[in-house]
């Protein structure tokens, strides 16, 4: 017959062994649960915009590496992906796709729960694992302070290859890769990278920047930069408004046109006073430039002066006008006829 005392001794010995084996594990899990912060970008958590800034700059550069490699290797594999509203053929190249994959998965690995909108479709079968060591370059540390915002308030817009048509024509100066971070629909972080000159402009609203506005502008006879595809639609009205001495500059790529308004250390960058676009345009084309201009005190609005919101649909219907260090409201009032053409 078993002794009650013996059973009790063996029971407590068993408890002791189990405690010895699992106490460290359970304690570690408890303290991890209590003390750990929510994962970056986790639903209900917060993201630090300085970290987001650093990875956005890195993503634009990594995408640019793919864009340059494909172009220099002359392996574009260009094909038509559809037509614009104006009937122009849109091109898709290997540069677009490879840049998109690199940029998207780098941002997604760093902030997995944040919404990312891209010009190109992400193929989950072609998923790439991209690691980021969360290091922040010294220049960004010095100019950008930590700032946390709710993860659910953040929307990212990336353009893996802006000016694809010019890219296929080997007009390299117009090509950029761009990342924009919007908070509650307002563009806050903007990164515009030029792959073929290794120049990157970046800025954060109420933060810092590595670029500045030019010191002089001409409101009476401005230099107006417009898309190559619809220069004629702007030129007549612009000259009627500002005079025959108004200079019309045609260029490719929304990123390039925004940089034209700034003091850019790139010999292949033209200069302009106003950027006008009179047709429908996608938000990933303009979000980064909008953020940079806002950070420097400039403006980018629809042709009627409405702020562009970076949530919801991926398109902006009302055209745009962008300026810096100028009377933006007065410019809009001078160009009433352009808004009517934006919906044609």
Which residues are part of the catalytic machinery?
A: 96, 164
The token pair that represents 245 in the structure block: 């001495």
- Helical ranges in 179-267 per DSSP H: 231-242, 254-259
Q: Where in the chain is the domain with CATH 3.30.540.10?
A: 46-209
Give the residue-averaged pLDDT of 112-140: 84
What spatial distance separates the first Cα and last Cα of the chain, rounded to whole Å?
98
119 is in an annotated binding site: yes
Closest by CA to 91, choosing from 252, 300, 225, is: 252
The token pair that represents 196 in the structure block: 């073929």
159 is in an annotated binding site: yes
Tell me the pTM.
0.84
| CATH number for domain 212-340, candidates 3.50.50.60, 1.10.760.10, 3.40.190.80, 3.30.470.20 | 3.40.190.80
162 is in an annotated binding site: yes
Q: Are 291 and 189 in contact (CB under 8 A)?
A: yes
Cα dist from 314 to 36, 111, 287, 290, whole Å: 36, 21, 11, 15
Residue 333 has pLDDT above 70, yes or no: yes
| Interior angle at CA 257, CA 51 and CA 242, nearest 5 | 135
**Which pLDDT tens digit goes with each residue over 257-268?**
999 999 998 888
Q: Where in the chain is the domain with CATH 3.40.190.80?
A: 212-340
66 is in an annotated binding site: no
pLDDT recorded at residue 227: 92
| Architecture of the domain delimited by 46-209 | 2-Layer Sandwich (3.30)
- Helical ranges in the chain per DSSP H: 4-35, 49-72, 94-110, 138-143, 164-168, 231-242, 254-259, 283-295, 328-334, 336-341
**Which pLDDT tens digit goes with each residue over 158-175?**
999 999 999 999 999 999
């Amino acid at each position: 017959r078993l002794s009650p005392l013996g059973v009790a001794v063996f029971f407590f010995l068993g408890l002791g062994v189990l405690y010895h084996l699992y106490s460290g594990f359970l304690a570690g899990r408890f303290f991890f649960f209590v003390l750990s912060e929510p994962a970056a970008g986790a639903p209900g958590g917060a993201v630090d915009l300085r970290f987001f800034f650093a990875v956005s700059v890195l993503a634009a550069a990594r995408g640019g590496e793919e864009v340059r490699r494909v172009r220099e290797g002359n392996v574009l594999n260009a094909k038509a992906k559809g037509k614009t509203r104006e009937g122009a053929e849109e091109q898709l190249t290997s540069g677009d796709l490879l840049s998109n994959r690199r940029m998207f998965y780098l941002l997604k690995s760093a902030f997995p729960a944040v919404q990312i909108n891209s010009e190109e479709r992400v193929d989950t079968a072609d998923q790439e694992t991209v690691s980021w060591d969360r290091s922040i370059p010294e220049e960004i540390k010095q100019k950008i302070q930590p700032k946390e915002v709710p993860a659910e308030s953040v929307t990212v817009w990336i353009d893996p290859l802006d000016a694809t048509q010019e890219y296929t024509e080997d007009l390299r100066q117009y090509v950029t890769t761009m990342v924009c971070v919007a908070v509650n629909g307002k563009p806050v972080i903007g990164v515009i990278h030029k792959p073929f000159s290794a120049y990157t402009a970046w800025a954060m609203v109420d933060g810092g920047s590595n670029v500045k506005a030019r010191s002089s502008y001409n409101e009476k006879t401005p230099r107006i930069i417009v898309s190559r595809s619809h220069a004629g639609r702007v030129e007549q009205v612009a000259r009627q408004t500002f005079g025959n001495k108004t200079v019309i500059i045609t260029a490719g790529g929304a990123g390039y046109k925004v940089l034209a308004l700034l003091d850019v250390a790139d010999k292949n960058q033209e200069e302009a006073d106003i950027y006008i676009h009179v047709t429908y345009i996608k938000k990933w084309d303009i979000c980064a430039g909008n953020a940079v201009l806002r950070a420097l005190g400039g403006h980018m609005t629809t042709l009627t002066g409405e702020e562009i919101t970076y949530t919801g649909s991926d398109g902006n219907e009302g055209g745009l006008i962008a300026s810096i260090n100028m009377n933006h409201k007065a410019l809009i009032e001078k160009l009433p006829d352009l808004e009517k053409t934006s919906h044609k």
